[in-house]
Structure 1
């Protein structure tokens, strides 16, 4: 396969050693070319816009722009790029949110080199000539009120304090908590906060 038809890949991960290992592994493969790297979400977007790769390998937890926002912006700027999210977590709820945002697939960092290479080959479009693919905009993970409650949970407020802050009953706060946990796949307040940060729930203006 010539360089003109090789699968062009950008690697985005905040761990330099992981990027180096991924770069070496992919560079050794016939028909795959690494055309850019990044260490955070903003860098991933910039590298994708600059290189217009076939595949972006995107770490789920990097500094800066949340992963869902990164996926959305990447696909808006480079619709021909397929996004493979690389994660340490085997989490069905997180994977569902990532797929809804437009990720082609999710793969574990513990996957074998053969599995990672296979994911790149499977995600790459058959031809760059197939044109842009229209994607429906992804829905917010939480409702507006649930984001307000989640942000206050992140600030360490109790249910009683959230009730007073938002002028709602404690029972309503608890119902919001139940919905938030279900949507995030969380099992505790600490787990909900971690997942909310990963999915970008805390981005934007505070309540």
Structure 2
């Protein structure tokens, strides 16, 4: 597992939190890691958007509750700017409506603020590669908690899937893999359930993301719920 981004350089991180002590704590953890470089800090959403444009970080570690422009609005603008930066949301509670809204706005995952240093580092590296979901089972719980906001659907509803042109591009096997991804399963768990190799699962996931034109597994999960491929 590489400790660097896909270009061979260190993973460049922008820290965004309105609490200076929180930013200091994150910086101390990340500065001690090889292959991760903190390139800037911001105390509010507007500053985060400006710095993301100038510094072009690989990962933006984004608090959601900040004065002025909050993390949700900032996430939407950072993602829309198409700089390649991926947003990792920081939240106090795992069932946080703000964090859910940030995922809908384009964040690539979220992390609890009381996560252990090793979890923080692992999450940043995972988000920087785009091939892993941070806390997938917690992501699923959030989606279920707010499922009343998504279209009615039933798990495996072929009609719902066929009605969406993006999902219509998937093969039957790819749709099956997407359902397991939406359950919060890792590649290893998917491989065990579907009797596939991990390499084959990774290939399927890559094709799914390309066909759906989404950045990562989190966005694929949101799409699966929104379209009714996976329902309540």
Map of 1:186-205 to 2, 5 A cutoff?
none
The reply on whether 1:88 has 2:71 as its aligned counterpart is: no
Residues 170-201 of structure 1 deviation map (CA, whole Å, 9 limit, x = unaligned): xxxxxxxxxxxxxxxxxxxxxxxxxxxxxxxx
User: What does residue 9 of structure 2 align with?
Assistant: 5
Structure of higher CA gyration radius = 1
Distance 1:40 1:86 in 2: 13
The reply on whether 1:76 has 2:72 as its aligned counterpart is: no
One of 11, 33, 52 as aligned partner of 2:37? 33
Distance change >3 Å, CA 83–CA 14, structure 1 → 2 = same
Distance 1:116 1:21 in 2: 11
One of 20, 24, 27 as aligned partner of 1:23? 27
The reply on whether 1:110 has 2:114 as its aligned counterpart is: yes
User: What does residue 197 of structure 1 align with?
Assistant: none
Map of 1:45-194 to 2, 5 A cutoff?
45-91=49-95, 93-125=97-129
User: What is the number of residues matched between the two proteins?
Assistant: 131
Deviation at 1:134, TM superposition (A): 6.5
TM-score normalized with structure 1 length: 0.57
Q: Which runs of 4+ in 1 moved over 6 A?
A: 1-4
Deviation at 1:24, TM superposition (A): 1.2
User: What does residue 195 of structure 1 align with?
Assistant: none
Gaps of 5+ in 2: 131-212, 220-232
Distance 2:96 2:67 in 1: 23
CA contact (8 A) 2:3 2:36 kept: no
Gaps of 5+ in 1: 127-132, 139-207
Aligned-residue Cα RMSD (Å) equals 2.5
The reply on whether 1:14 has 2:13 as its aligned counterpart is: no
CA contact (8 A) 1:54 1:125 kept: no
CA contact (8 A) 1:11 1:58 kept: yes
Distance 2:214 2:84 in 1: 10
Distance 1:18 1:2 in 2: 24
Distance 1:21 1:65 in 2: 23
CA contact (8 A) 1:49 1:78 kept: no
Distance change >3 Å, CA 15–CA 95, structure 1 → 2 = closer
Deviation at 1:92, TM superposition (A): 5.2
Distance change >3 Å, CA 92–CA 66, structure 1 → 2 = closer
SS in 2 for 1:124: helix
CA contact (8 A) 1:9 1:33 kept: yes
